[in-house]
C-alpha cells in the first residue's frame, strides 16, 4: 500500500503566552517569536500512515508546502518511517487559499499511483479544515473527513470511522484510492529520535517549484485562489479574564448564561 | 440579492441545533431563505424548519437515511445548479466539513469554511474567520461569482425563535445512481465509562480548592448536568480523589476541550501546559491572584463551594 | 554463547565489576513506592538478548537518577546509568511516554523542554527590582562570570523569581556578569535522563561552541542539573563551572555581598541530589543560609550524602510513576514539619516545584514555606 501523507509546519500558537501580532501589510503576522512544529492533526496522519505501512507494507511519501525550514517537520516524519519526501516551494505560492493549496498538492501526487492520501483534518494556524476534501475532488477520488480509525478490509477497501461531535464514530466503507483527513487522538504519535532525524536528513527531499508542478501562475497563490484572507484584525475581546462580579447567585447565573450562549450546555 | 440555501443537519433521528442557527443567520442576512433537507422520513424536521425558512426543499429518500458526504455532495451539486442561490450556508461540522471543499470544486464556486460571522455586502458575503487559535480575526475576499459557499461554525450565533412559515416542497432525489465508492455502515458510540479526557469536549477540572474528598460528589453532579467529564490537578490525583488517568498537566494528559471549567485550580505552569489548548477556560478560585485567571476567558473570584451549588441550581432550572 | 565481555552493556557500564551486594537497591529511595530493583537490572543486562525485554519494563522510568546507588556502590559503579541505557533503547525506537516525547520534541524545536518559543527565553528579564537592564553578552565579549539560566527559570512563572533574584544578587555584589540571551539553550541534562543520548550530544556540541564564543572566566548555573551536565558530562567544554551557591558563598566571604534584612525563622536545607550526592557541594548552601540574619539552621536526619530525593530529576518532571504510595517530597515535608521548620530551603528549581506541591498536598501552606536560597537572598538584600 503506497501512501501519501501531507504535513504542514505551523507556529505553535496554542500557548496563551504566545502573542500573535499583525504585521504592517495587514495580511501577515510577525513570526519572529514563534516556535514551529508539525501541525497536530498531521502528526496523527503521519503515525497512521506508518502504522499502515508497518502492517501492510508499501511506502510512505511525505508531502509538504513550505520553505526550507519546513524540512524539519519533513525529516521528523521520515525519521519515524517515511520513505520519500516532496516539498513544494516557490514564492509564487504565497497567499494560496484552500483551493490553490489543494491544487499544489494535486500536482505533487497525481502521477504517483498512490493507494491512499492522508492529511490532517485541520491546521491549527488557519483552521480551514478543507484542503484534504478539496484535494480529493481535484483528484477525482472518494474521500472521508475527520477520520479517527482506519482498518484495511482488502486491497481495494478501507473501513474508516469518522469522528463527529460528541465523539460519535460514523463508520464508512470506502474504496481505494481515496483521500482521508485524519482527526487527532486515533493513535499515539511516536517520537522521532535525534539520531533518527540525523539519519533521515540523508534522504532526499524533492523540491518542486512552480515549473515542476506544471501549473500556470494564475492557478497558484493569490491569483489561483477563490477566497483569500484579505485583512487581519485584532478581535475585540480583551486578553484578561472577564471577572464576573456579584454574589454566588449572580455569578453562577451569568456563567450559566454564557455557557448556554456558547452552546456548551 | 439571491436566495440563501441552508443545508439542514440531522443525525440519529435528531435535527441538529446548527440547522436553526444557520437559518436564523440566513434570516438576518435578508433575502429568501431556502432550507434543504436531505433525509428519509423526515416530515417532523421539515415542519420545524418551516418555522425558520421561506421554503423547505425536502428530498425524502432512503439514500439519505444516514449521512454520506459523497451522496450529500452529489445532491447539493444538482440542487445548487437548479436553484441558483446567491449563498449556500452549511454547518462547519463533522458532516459539513466532509462536503464543502469537494462540493465547491465540483461546481467551480468560491468557498470558505469555519466562518464565525457573515454579513452581506451587496451580493457578496463578507466573512469573518479566526486565525491562530482565535488570537486574531481575518476577513475573506471572494472571487466574484453567482453563488458562494460558506461553512459556518457551530454555535457562532444563537438560534432565534423563527417566525416564518415556509412552504414545504418535496422534490425528487436528483442523485439517480447509487454512491458506491463510499458506504455508510453504522454509528459507534464513544465508549462510556472508559473516559479518555484527551478526547473530552467538556471538562470540569478540580484542584485542591475543593478542599475535601467529600466535595467530589458535588463536582460530579455538576459534570453530570453539563455532560462533562471530570479531570483534575496533580494534587487531587495525589490525594487519591481522582484516578491517575484524569490528571491534566505536563506529567499527565494534554487536553483540548471546548470548555475547561477549572474549579479551585491555582494554575501552576505544569498544569497550564496541559490545558492551554482549551477553547474556553472558565476559572473559579477564591484567590484573585491565582495564575489560572491569566489563562481564563471568564473568572469568578469566590468560594467554589458556594458558586458550584448555585450553578447546579441554575443549570437544573435551564433544563427544566 | 556470545563473549560476555563484548556485550554492549557489560562494556559500557562495567557490569562485570558488580558483586551483587545489593547496596544500591538497599539504599534506593524510590523502592518504598515503586517495584524498581536496580541491582536486578545490573544483573540482567549482562545478557544482550534480554535488553529489548528489559527496556520495555515500566520500572526503568521510576528511577530519579538521584545518585544514591552510585554513592553507596563499593565498587564505584553507577548502577542507575544502566536504566538510562535501557531508556535510550526506547527513545531511539520512538516508543516513549507522550509526555516525555513532547518534552524532547520541544528541546529539539525550541531549546527548552517546556514547549516555549526560544525567542521568549529572556522575557523574564523585564521588571527586576532595581535593575534597569540585564547584561547580555555578545560573542567575543568579556566578563568574569557567564550565567546559564536554566530553562525552567526562564519560563515557569514560579521559578522566574529565582533568576530575577540571581540578577539582583549579581548587581548588588558588583559582579562582572553576563547572560547569553535568547541564544541560550537547554543544557541537555533532562534529554539524557529521558534516554535521548543523541539529543544530549547535540546540546553538548551546540552549547560547547556557544559557551566558547565568550571571553569569560567561568560558567555559573542556576540549576544543579545544568551544573552537573556542564561540569561532568560535556565532552570538551573548557570552562570552570560553578553552581550559584558556590559563587554566592564566595561573594559573601569576600564581603562583596551584604545581607541586611532579617529572616527570623527556623530553616532546614534540603540537599538537591545533583548538587549534593552527585557533586558533593554541601557546605556552601549552609554557609549562605548561616549568613542571613536571624536564620536558625535545622538539619534533616537524612541530609547530605543521605539526603532524600524529591523525585523531580531524572526526567521525572515528565514521566509519572504508577505508584499511589506517598511521594518522597511529601515524606520530606512531613520530616520538615516534625523538625518544626518554618522554611524548607532548596537550591534547585525542580526541588522547589516538587516540595512546594507536596506542601500543598499536605495542606501546610499556612505553617511553612518552601523557598530557594535565591529567594531568601532576595529578601535579605
**Cβ proximity of B189 and B78 under 8 Å:** no
Which range (B161-170, B186-195, C36-45) has the least confidence? Answer: B186-195
Beta carbons of C270 and C355 less than 8 angstroms apart: yes
User: What residue spans of chain C are helical by DSSP H?
Assistant: 8-13, 23-27, 38-44, 51-55, 68-72, 80-93, 98-110, 151-155, 160-172, 189-193, 197-212, 224-228, 244-253, 283-291, 328-339, 349-361, 373-380
How far is residue A38's CA from residue B69's CA, in Å, rounded to a whole number? 28
* CB-CB under 8 Å, C317 with B250: yes
pLDDT at B269 over 90: no
* Long-range residue pairs from B188-193, CB within 8 A, at least 24 positions apart, any chain: B188/A161, B188/A168, B188/A169, B188/A171, B189/A167, B189/A168, B189/A169, B190/A166, B190/A167, B190/A168, B190/A169
Confidence of residue B51 (pLDDT cuts 50, 70, 90): very high
Q: How far, in Å, CA of C208 to CA of C234, rounded?
A: 8
| DSSP class per residue in C149-187 | --HHHHH-TTTHHHHHHHHHHHHHTT--EEE-GGG----
SS3 (DSSP) at C245: helix
DSSP for C34-60 reads: S---HHHHHHHTTSGGGHHHHHT-GGG
Say if the Cβ atoms of A197 and C108 lie within 8 Å: yes
A148: closest chain B residue by CA: B199
B215 — contact with chain C (CB < 8 Å)? no
State the nearest Cα–Cα gap between C29 and chain A, in angstroms.
Answer: 30
**Domain of residue B228, residue span:** 197-319
Q: What is the pLDDT of residues B249-262, one digit of tens each?
A: 888 888 989 999 99
Q: What is the pLDDT of residues C205-243, one digit of tens each?
A: 999 999 999 999 999 999 999 999 999 999 999 999 999
Would you state the pLDDT for residue A238? 55
Mutation to test the A interface, candidates B182, B229, B272, B306, most A Cβ within 10 Å? B182
Q: With contact defined as beta carbons under 8 Å apart, do C63 and C27 qualify?
A: no
> Which chain A residues are Cβ-neighbours of C101 within 8 angstroms?
189-191
Which of B121, B152, B170 is a domain's end point?
A: B170
* CB A150, CB A48: distance < 8 Å: yes
Residue A111 domain-assigned (yes or no):
yes
Burial of residue B159, with CB atoms counted within 10 A of its CB: 0-12 exposed, 13-18 middle, 19 or more buried: middle
- B291 closest CB neighbour out of C157, C353, C357: C157
B 283-312 residues with CB below 8 A of C?
291
Instruction: Look at residue A78 and give its three-state secondary structure.
Output: helix
Residue B190 lies in a domain: no
Nearest Cα to Cα of residue C216 among C181, C178, C249, C248: C178
Residue A114: closest CA among A205, A189, A53: A53
Nearest CA in chain A to C194: A193
Of A156-160, B41-45, B152-156, B203-207, the poorest mean pLDDT is in B152-156
Q: Does C117 sit within 8 Å of A12, measured CB to CB?
A: yes
Q: What is the pLDDT of residue B208?
A: 87
Beta bridge partners of B205: B231, B262
Output the domain CATH number for residue A92: 3.40.50.620
Distance from CA of B34 to the nearest CA of A (A): 24
DSSP A185-248: TSS-PPP--HHHHHHHTTS-EEEE-HHHHT--GGGSTTTT-SEEEEEEE--SS-SSPEEPPS-H
Q: CB contact, 8 Å: C114 with chain A?
A: no
Q: What residue spans in chain C does CATH classification 3.40.50 cover?
A: 257-380
**B269 touches C: beta carbon within 8 Å:** yes
Look at B307 and A15 and tell me if their CB atoms are within 8 Å. no
- Within a domain: residue B180? no
Task: For residues B279 and A258, give the distance between their C-alpha atoms in angstroms, rounded to a whole number.
Answer: 14
- The reply to whether B9 falls in a domain is yes
Specify the CATH number of the domain C257-380: 3.40.50
Distance, in Å, from the CA atom of B195 to the CA atom of A167, rounded to the nearest integer, reads: 11
Q: What is the pLDDT of residue C114?
A: 93
pLDDT at site B211 = 85
Q: Which residues of A touch B314 (CB under 8 A)?
A: 252-253, 255-256
- Kindly report the CATH number assigned to the domain that includes residue B144: 3.40.50.620
B·C CB contacts under 8 A: 45
For every residue of C310-336, DSSP letters joined together read -S-TTTTTT---S--SPPHHHHHHHHH
Euclidean distance between CA atoms B256 and B231, whole angstroms? 12
CA dist list (Å): B119 to B126, B139, B140, C298? 5, 11, 11, 70
Neighbours of C (≥3 Cβ pairs closer than 8 A)? Answer: A, B
Which residue from A127, A98, A137 is spatially nearest to B111, judged by alpha carbons? A98
**In terms of residue numbers, what domain contains A166?**
3-219
User: In the predicted model, is pLDDT for residue B185 greater than 50?
Assistant: yes
Domain membership flag for residue B81: yes
Sorting pLDDT into bands at 50, 70 and 90, what band is C1?
very low
Does residue B89 lie in a domain region? Answer: yes
Q: Report the pLDDT value the prediction gives residue B193, as an integer from 0 to 100.
A: 58
Output the nine-digit C-alpha cell for A65: 508546502
Least CB–CB distance from B98: residue in A14, A133, A249: A133
Looking at the structure of chain B, the number of domains it has is: 2
H-helix or E-strand spanning residue A105: helix A98-109
Q: Is residue B250 helix, strand or coil? A: coil
Q: Is A156 part of any domain?
A: yes
| Cβ-Cβ contacts under 8 Å, C119 against chain A | 32-35
Dist CA C106 CA C111 (whole Å)? 7
What is the maximum span of chain A, computed from C-alpha positions, in angstroms? 67
Q: Does the residue B192 lie in any domain? A: no
Mean pLDDT by 10 residues, chain A (265 residues): 97 78 95 92 98 98 97 97 98 97 98 97 96 98 97 97 89 98 93 95 96 98 97 78 92 94 85
Q: If you average pLDDT over residues C189-212, what whole number do you get?
A: 97
Mutate to test the interface with B, among A34, A120, A133 (most CBs of B within 10 A): A133
CB-CB: which of B139, B190, B298 is closest to A230? B139
By C-alpha distance, the chain A residue nearest B106 is: A137
> What gap in Å lies between CA B117 and CA A233, rounded to an integer?
14
CA distance A80 to chain C (A): 8
**CB-CB under 8 Å, B251 with C319:** yes
Distance CA B63, CA B175 (A): 9
| pLDDT bucket at B191, cuts 50 / 70 / 90 | low
On whether any CB of chain A is under 8 Å from the CB of C116, the answer is yes
Chain B residues touching C318 at Cβ < 8 A? 250-251
- Read off φ and ψ for residue B202, nearest 5 degrees: -125, 135
Q: Which residues of B touch A130 (CB under 8 A)?
A: 97, 100-101, 111, 113, 151
User: C-chain residues within 8 Å CB-CB of B269?
Assistant: 114, 155-158
Give the phi and the psi of residue C283 in degrees, each rounded to 5.
-80, -40
The CATH number given to C4-93 is 1.10.1060.10
Tell me if A235 and B282 make a contact (CB, 8 A cut-off).
Answer: no
Q: Which residue of A has its CA nearest to C191?
A: A194
* B40-44, B87-91, B183-187, B291-295, range with the lowest pLDDT: B291-295
Q: Does B199 touch chain C (CB under 8 A)?
A: no
Tell whether A84 is covered by a domain: yes
Start-end of CATH 3.40.470 domains in chain C: 101-252
List chain C residues with CB under 8 Å of B273.
114-115
Find the CB nearest B258 among A136, A227, A264.
Answer: A264
Instruction: Taking residues C165-193, report their average pLDDT.
Output: 98
pLDDT tens profile B231-250:
999 888 888 899 888 999 88
Q: B70 pLDDT band (50/70/90 cuts)?
A: very high
Distant-in-sequence, close-in-space partners of B239: CB < 8 Å, separation ≥ 6: B208, B213, C361
- Asked if B26 and B152 sit in the same domain, the reply is yes
**Which pLDDT score, from 0 to 100, does residue C5 have?**
66
Cα distance from B217 to chain C (closest Cα, Å)? 20
Residue B80 parent element (H or E): helix B69-83
Is B117 within the bounds of a domain?
Answer: yes
Among partner residues A34, A36, A193, which is closest to C198 by beta-carbon distance?
A: A193
Distance, in Å, from the CA atom of C112 to the CA atom of C93, rounded to the nearest integer, reads 22
Q: How many CA atoms lie within 13 A of B207 on its CB side?
A: 26
Residues B165 and B41 in one domain: yes
**Residue of C174 and B274 predicted with greater confidence:** C174
Q: Are residues B137 and B219 in the same domain?
A: no
Cβ of B186 within 8 Å of Cβ of A171? The answer is yes
- Given an 8 Å threshold on Cβ–Cβ distance, is C108 in contact with A195? no
Q: How many domains does chain A fold into?
A: 1
Domain boundary among B170, B189, B209: B170
**Cβ A181 vs Cβ A119: under 8 Å:** yes
Search chain C and give the residue with CA nearest A69.
Answer: C109
CATH topology of domain C101-252: Uracil-DNA Glycosylase, subunit E (3.40.470)
Please judge whether B270 and C103 are an interchain contact, meaning their C-beta atoms are less than 8 angstroms apart.
no
Q: Is C96 on the interface with A (CB under 8 A)?
A: yes
Q: Phi/psi of residue C302, each to 5°?
A: -90, 95
B217-229: pLDDT as tens digits: 999 999 999 999 9
What are the contacts of C6-14 at 24+ separation with CB within 8 A? C7/C46, C7/C47, C7/C48, C8/C48, C8/C51, C9/C45, C9/C46, C9/C48, C9/C51, C9/C82, C9/C85, C10/C45, C10/C46, C12/C85, C13/C42, C13/C45, C13/C77, C13/C78, C13/C81, C13/C82, C13/C85, C14/C77
- Helix axis angle, A131-139 to A98-109, nearest 10°: 50
Helices C328-339 and C349-361, packing angle to 10 deg: 80
Print the SS3 string covering B292-309: HHHHCCEEEECCHHHHHH
Chain A neighbors (3+ CB pairs < 8 Å): B, C
Q: How many CB atoms lie within 10 A of CB A13?
A: 23
Mean pLDDT of chain C: 95
From the list A124, A31, A10, the residue with the least C-alpha distance to B130 is A124
Establish, for the pair of chains A and C, how many residue pairs have beta carbons separated by less than 8 Å. 64
Are residues A253 and A41 in contact, defined by beta-carbon separation less than 8 angstroms?
no
- Please report the number of interchain residue pairs, chain A to chain B, with beta-carbon separation below 8 angstroms: 277
A80 touches chain C (CB under 8 A): yes
Q: Quote the minimal CA–CA distance from C182 to chain A in Å.
A: 11
Amino acid at each position: 500500500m503506497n501512501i501519501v501523507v501531507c504535513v504542514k509546519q505551523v507556529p505553535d500558537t496554542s500557548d496563551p503566552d504566545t502573542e500573535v501580532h499583525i504585521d504592517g501589510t495587514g495580511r501577515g503576522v510577525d513570526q519572529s517569536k514563534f516556535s514551529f512544529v508539525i501541525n497536530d492533526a498531521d502528526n496523527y496522519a503521519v503515525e497512521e500512515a506508518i502504522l499502515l505501512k508497518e502492517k501492510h507494507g508499501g511506502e510512505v511519501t511525505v508531502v509538504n508546502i513550505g520553505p526550507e525550514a519546513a524540512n524539519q517537520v519533513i525529516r521528523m516524519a521520515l525519521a519515524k518511517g517515511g520513505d520519500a519526501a516532496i516539498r513544494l516551494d516557490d514564492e509564487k505560492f504565497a497567499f494560496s487559499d484552500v483551493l490553490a493549496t489543494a491544487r499544489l498538492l494535486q500536482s505533487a501526487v497525481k502521477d504517483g499511483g498512490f493507494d491512499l492520501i492522508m492529511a490532517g483534518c485541520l491546521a491549527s494556524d488557519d483552521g480551514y479544515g478543507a484542503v484534504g476534501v478539496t484535494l480529493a475532488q481535484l483528484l477525482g477520488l472518494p474521500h472521508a473527513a475527520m477520520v479517527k480509525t482506519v482498518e484495511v478490509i482488502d486491497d481495494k477497501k478501507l473501513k474508516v470511522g469518522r469522528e463527529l461531535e460528541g465523539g460519535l464514530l460514523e463508520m464508512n466503507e470506502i474504496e481505494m484510492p481515496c483521500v482521508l483527513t485524519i482527526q487527532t487522538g486515533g493513535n499515539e504519535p511516536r517520537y522521532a529520535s535525534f539520531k533518527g532525524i540525523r539519519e533521515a536528513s540523508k534522504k532526499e527531499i524533492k523540491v518542486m517549484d512552480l515549473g515542476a508542478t506544471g501549473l500556470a501562475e494564475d492557478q497558484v497563490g493569490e491569483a489561483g485562489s477563490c477566497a483569500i484572507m484579505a485583512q487581519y484584525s485584532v478581535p475585540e475581546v480583551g486578553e484578561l479574564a472577564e471577572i464576573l462580579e456579584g454574589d454566588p447567585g449572580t455569578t453562577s447565573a451569568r456563567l450559566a448564561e454564557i455557557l448556554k450562549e456558547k452552546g456548551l450546555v | 440579492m439571491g436566495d440563501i440555501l441552508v443545508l439542514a443537519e440531522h443525525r440519529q433521528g435528531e435535527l441538529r441545533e446548527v440547522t436553526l442557527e444557520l437559518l436564523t443567520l440566513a434570516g438576518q442576512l435578508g433575502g429568501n431563505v431556502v432550507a434543504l433537507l436531505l433525509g428519509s422520513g423526515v416530515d417532523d424536521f421539515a415542519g420545524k424548519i418551516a418555522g425558520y425558512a421561506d421554503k423547505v426543499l425536502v428530498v425524502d429518500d432512503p439514500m439519505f437515511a444516514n449521512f454520506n458526504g459523497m451522496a450529500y455532495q452529489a445532491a447539493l451539486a444538482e440542487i445548487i445548479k437548479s436553484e441558483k442561490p446567491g449563498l449556500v450556508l452549511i454547518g462547519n461540522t463533522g458532516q459539513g466539513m466532509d462536503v464543502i471543499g469537494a462540493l465547491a470544486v465540483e461546481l467551480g464556486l468560491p468557498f470558505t469554511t469555519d466562518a464565525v460571522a457573515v454579513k452581506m455586502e451587496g451580493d457578496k458575503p463578507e466573512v469573518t474567520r479566526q486565525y491562530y487559535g482565535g488570537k486574531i480575526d481575518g476577513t475573506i475576499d471572494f472571487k466574484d461569482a453567482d453563488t458562494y459557499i460558506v461553512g459556518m461554525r457551530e454555535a457562532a450565533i444563537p438560534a432565534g425563535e423563527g417566525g416564518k412559515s415556509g412552504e414545504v416542497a418535496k422534490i425528487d432525489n436528483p442523485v439517480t445512481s447509487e454512491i458506491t465508492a463510499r458506504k455508510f455502515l453504522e454509528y459507534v458510540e464513544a465508549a462510556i465509562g472508559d473516559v479518555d479526557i484527551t478526547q473530552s469536549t467538556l471538562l470540569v477540572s478540580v484542584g485542591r480548592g475543593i478542599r475535601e474528598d467529600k466535595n467530589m460528589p458535588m463536582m460530579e453532579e455538576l459534570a453530570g448536568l453539563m455532560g462533562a467529564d471530570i479531570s483534575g490537578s496533580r494534587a487531587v490525583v495525589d490525594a487519591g480523589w481522582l484516578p491517575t488517568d484524569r490528571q491534566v498537566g505536563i506529567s499527565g494528559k494534554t487536553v483540548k476541550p471546548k470548555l475547561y471549567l477549572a474549579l479551585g485550580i491555582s494554575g501552576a505552569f505544569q498544569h497550564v501546559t496541559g490545558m492551554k489548548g482549551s477553547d474556553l477556560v472558565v476559572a473559579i478560585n477564591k484567590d484573585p491572584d491565582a495564575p489560572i485567571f491569566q489563562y481564563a476567558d471568564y473568572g469568578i473570584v469566590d468560594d467554589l463551594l458556594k458558586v458550584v451549588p448555585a450553578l447546579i441550581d441554575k443549570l437544573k432550572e435551564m433544563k427544566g | 554463547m556470545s563473549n560476555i565481555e563484548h556485550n554492549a552493556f557489560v562494556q559500557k557500564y562495567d557490569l562485570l565489576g558488580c558483586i551483587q551486594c545489593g547496596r544500591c537497591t538497599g539504599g534506593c529511595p524510590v523502592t518504598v513506592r515503586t517495584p524498581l530493583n536496580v541491582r536486578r537490572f545490573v544483573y540482567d543486562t549482562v545478557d544482550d538478548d534480554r535488553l529489548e525485554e528489559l527496556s520495555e519494563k515500566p520500572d526503568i522510568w521510576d528511577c530519579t537518577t538521584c545518585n544514591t546507588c552510585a554513592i553507596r556502590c563499593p565498587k564505584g559503579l553507577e548502577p542507575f546509568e544502566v536504566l538510562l541505557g535501557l531508556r535510550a533503547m526506547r527513545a531511539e525506537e520512538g516508543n516513549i511516554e507522550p509526555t516525555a516525547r513532547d518534552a524532547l520534541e520541544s528541546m529539539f524545536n525550541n531549546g527548552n523542554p517546556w514547549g516555549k518559543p526560544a525567542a521568549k527565553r529572556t522575557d523574564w528579564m523585564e521588571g527586576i527590582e532595581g535593575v534597569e537592564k540585564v547584561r547580555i553578552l555578545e560573542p567575543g565579549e568579556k566578563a568574569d562570570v557567564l550565567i546559564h539560566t536554566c530553562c525552567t527559570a526562564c519560563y515557569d512563572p514560579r521559578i522566574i523569581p529565582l533568576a530575577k533574584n540571581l540578577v539582583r544578587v549579581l548587581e548588588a555584589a558588583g559582579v562582572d556578569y553576563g547572560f547569553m540571551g535568547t541564544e541560550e539553550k537547554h543544557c541537555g541534562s533532562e534529554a539524557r535522563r529521558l534516554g535521548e543520548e543523541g539529543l544530549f550530544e547535540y546540546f553538548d556540541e551546540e552549547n560547547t561552541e556557544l559557551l566558547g564564543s565568550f571571553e569569560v572566566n567561568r560558567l555559573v548555573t542556576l540549576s544543579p542539573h545544568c551544573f552537573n551536565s556542564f561540569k561532568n558530562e560535556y565532552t570538551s567544554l573548557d570552562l570552570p563551572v560553578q553552581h550559584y551557591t558556590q559563587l554566592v558563598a564566595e561573594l559573601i566571604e569576600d564581603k562583596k555581598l551584604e545581607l541586611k534584612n532579617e529572616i527570623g525563622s527556623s530553616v532546614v536545607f534540603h540537599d538537591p541530589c545533583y548538587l549534593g550526592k552527585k557533586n558533593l557541594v554541601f557546605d556552601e548552601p549552609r554557609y549562605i543560609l548561616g549568613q542571613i540574619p536571624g536564620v536558625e539552621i535545622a538539619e534533616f536526619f537524612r541530609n547530605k550524602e543521605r539526603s532524600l530525593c524529591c523525585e523531580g530529576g531524572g526526567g521525572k518532571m515528565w514521566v509519572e510513576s504508577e505508584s499511589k504510595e506517598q511521594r518522597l517530597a511529601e515524606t520530606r515535608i512531613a520530616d520538615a514539619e516534625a523538625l518544626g521548620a518554618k522554611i524548607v530551603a532548596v537550591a534547585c528549581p525542580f526541588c522547589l516545584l516538587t516540595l512546594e506541591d507536596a506542601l500543598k498536598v499536605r495542606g501546610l501552606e499556612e505553617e511553612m514555606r518552601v523557598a530557594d536560597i535565591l529567594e531568601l537572598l532576595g529578601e535579605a538584600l
